[in-house]
Amino acid sequence: MSAESSERATPLVWLISGCSTGIGREIARAALEAGDHVGVSARNPAVVEDLVAEFPEQAVAVALDVTDPTQVRASVAATEARFGRIDVLVNNAGYGYVSSIEEGDEAEVRRMFDTNFFGAIDLIKATLPGMRARRDGLIVNVSSVTGYVSMPGNIYYSTSKFALESLSEGLARELGPLGIRVSAVAPGVFRTDWNARSMHESEETIADYAPTVGERRKLLRTTPEGFGGDARKVGEALVMLSRLEAPPVHLLLGADAVGAARGKIADLSASIDEWEAYGVAAGETDVAE
């Protein structure tokens, strides 16, 4: 943890998307237990009322389907109306889609991108006016280790997370001069219901992809109970980030995520070394003699 941390005299105010279960719920609980105020959102706010009942002075239940622009704006307005501002926006809502590229249903893929990527952008745009006015704020985009390493069967989902990583990197540079920090948090495998409730699959299957995509489907269906890290630690990590004056733009969580990213960097570095002479030569300008 960086030494560049600061103590806040007043609680932070969070708006978190996708709090019904899993990582989003753990982020909300960790922030509430840290004494902060939270707009706890879900498509059906009734499923988060237990958190509000447990922390009645700190939490407000917010109806939020991130694919609905009206609800996006209303969720920001409701959180600001209750607590006066939003200090931390967490874009957590998202789900997976298992399919080969060829098998993928276009409408399903577009719906997933509307949730995983464009929904995050809409929430950012709705929250930024207040953050800009205060010259302060933190935006956290919950990505995934698959935002670094793309594998057969997971390509559509991975692409949506690669996009979040790129968004975060550019946004950190764009908003830094305005006092607004941006972090992309990429968890590896944590114990949630992600591969059940939050995993969609293509209806069409093609036999040629059985050794690759088919094996991915089997793996996701047979993940043993208790496998992966404790999702609560993701919530604790985000509370830690919220206290930093200079949080990292990219944060990998879990040994599997760190290992996968290091492997990706090593492969990329080796490829650059192997093809460097050709690449440099291709960019040279021919000078007529």
Positions marked active-site: 143, 157, 161
Contact between 91 and 139 under an 8 Å Cβ cutoff? The reply is yes
Contact between 192 and 24 under an 8 Å Cβ cutoff? The reply is no
Tokens of 49: 């009322």
Residues of 64-103 as b/e, b for ≥16 C-beta within 10 angstroms? bbbbbeebbebbbebbbeebebbbbbbbbbbbbbbbbeeb
Measured CA to CA, the distance from residue 192 to residue 230 in angstroms comes to 9
